[in-house]
Amino acid sequence: MAAMPGSPERFPRVALVGRHASPDLAAPLARLAAFLEGRGHHVVFEEETARCAAIAAHATAPAARIGELVDLAVVLGGDGTMLSIARHIAPFDVPLIGINQGRLGFLTDIPLAQMEAVLGAMLEGRYVEEPRTLLKASIERAGHPPASALALNDVVVNRGNSGSMIDVAVDIDGRFVFSLRADGLIVSTPTGTTAYALSAGGPIIDPEVKALALVPVAPHALTHRPIAVAESAVIAIVIERGNDAAVNCDGQAHFPLAENDRVTVQRAPYVSRFLHPEGHDHFAMLRAKLHWSEAPGDASARRPASAPRPRTTARR
């Protein structure tokens, strides 16, 4: 992944998308809009972002139409904001830049305090482009028309509010693979392996690896382990037991499921294009976000002084 040559004219029209629930949204968005307009870019605000930030002096468009109107989308928020807009604009091949106003920020990697300096260099062509796989979930349910949704992180089939485990049968490329009794099953892209799949014990997959991860959630049998399959695989999940099951895509698109309903997951026909600052390194980002470089004693330095020290048991 090399830095791409370019100039500000590469992106004459720029969309701004913000984290809707943030109380501190208006000021940095206004700063960002003024910065871009000062460089000659035409700014379009995502409609709900403009409403939540009380911004009225710029053109707006709904999220579903942003991709038709701009050459670049800049997202100010957290990974959830990035996931939401990425699914809307991927079919239009519009790249994304993320400015982190959230917590970890695996996808939004520019610090808010440095946004003008870093973004200015990127708009001049000093950036690294990284394509990210998208999933398409097709849902077949008795008594309902077929439905589909996209996911950048994961497609999750899970139990409902009753608390009972669900039973599912899994086929890959038309071949039966296993039956599973569990709280759920995650089908994750490499991007999503640092999200829900990671907390369920799945592996972290480098985005350059063309693979998907299948990660059981609290399986009844301990022999069920995460597996990696080819990115080209077509994965079919059939509900065998569990009348209050559901499927969700990136935690944002939800569909209830009943017994014999089927969810088919496969690679979408397009990708999400992420632009990172020049010199971006995926593993350096993981080290920073997951504190991989800390010695075991370093964690105690971050504990507030008022926090009780953990109890230890002397060895006999």
CA distances from 196 to 126, 214, 275 (A): 32, 12, 23
pLDDT in tens, 130-152: 999 999 999 999 999 999 999 99
Give the active site residues: 79
How far is it, in rounded angstroms, from Cα 155 to Cα 184?
A: 11
In this prediction, residue 63 carries a pLDDT of 95
In this prediction, residue 3 carries a pLDDT of 41
Q: Look up the pTM and report it.
A: 0.88
| Two structure tokens written together for 7 | 């100039």
pLDDT in tens, 40-63: 999 999 999 999 888 888 899 999
pLDDT band for position 4 (cuts 50, 70, 90): very low
Domain ranges of the chain: 8-126+278-290, 134-268
Mean pLDDT of 60-88: 94
Nearest of 59, 89, 53, 149 to residue 274 by alpha carbon: 89
Q: Does 158 have pLDDT greater than 90? A: yes
**CB neighbourhood size of 153 (10 A):** 30
- 85 CB contacts (<8 Å, ≥6 apart)? 17, 46, 63, 66, 73, 75, 96
CATH 3.40.50.10330 fits 8-126+278-290, yes or no: yes
Write the DSSP string, 215-245.
EEES-SSTT---EEEETT--EEEEEEE-TTE
Sign of torsion over alpha carbons 297, 303, 304, 310? negative
CATH 2.60.200.30 fits 134-268, yes or no: yes
